[in-house]
Amino acid sequence: MALLIFLVTSVLTGFPAAAVIWLSERFAIRSIWFFGGAGALMGTLGQAGLTGLLNKAGPTFFPSVFVVAGFVAGMVYWRVAGRHAGRDASGEVTQD
């Protein structure tokens, strides 16, 4: 069961995170709110997916730690790499 949860969590977070990173690079999105919101959305959908998989009654939507963790993870990603998204493509020169 632990392996199944690990695989599902990886799929529910890895692929969407790669899509968000690709979008931010493609369209030079550097907003902390974009990354935080995308992380919160991934947390919401991941929590719903796991709940739906483990619960026979189906997914339940309630505020959870997954949403907060996703938001924080998105903001941390922005702090590390997201604020520089698409800078090479736009030709913008900075003095960081």
Domain boundaries, position 15: 2-86
Let me know if residue 8 belongs to a domain: yes
What does pTM read for this prediction?
A: 0.69
Q: Report the sign of the C-alpha dihedral through residues 39, 32, 64, 57, in that order.
A: negative
Percent of the chain with pLDDT over 90: 11
Asked if 1 and 8 count as a contact pair (C-beta separation under 8 A), the reply is no
Let me know if residue 30 belongs to a domain: yes
Let me know if residue 82 belongs to a domain: yes
Let me know if residue 91 belongs to a domain: no
Q: What is the pLDDT of residues 17-41, one digit of tens each?
A: 889 888 888 888 888 899 999 999 9
d(CA 55, CA 49): 10
Asked if 20 and 81 count as a contact pair (C-beta separation under 8 A), the reply is no
Let me know if residue 93 belongs to a domain: no
Let me know if residue 94 belongs to a domain: no
Q: How many domains is the chain built from?
A: 1
Asked if 22 and 89 count as a contact pair (C-beta separation under 8 A), the reply is no
Asked if 90 and 28 count as a contact pair (C-beta separation under 8 A), the reply is yes
Let me know if residue 73 belongs to a domain: yes
Let me know if residue 95 belongs to a domain: no
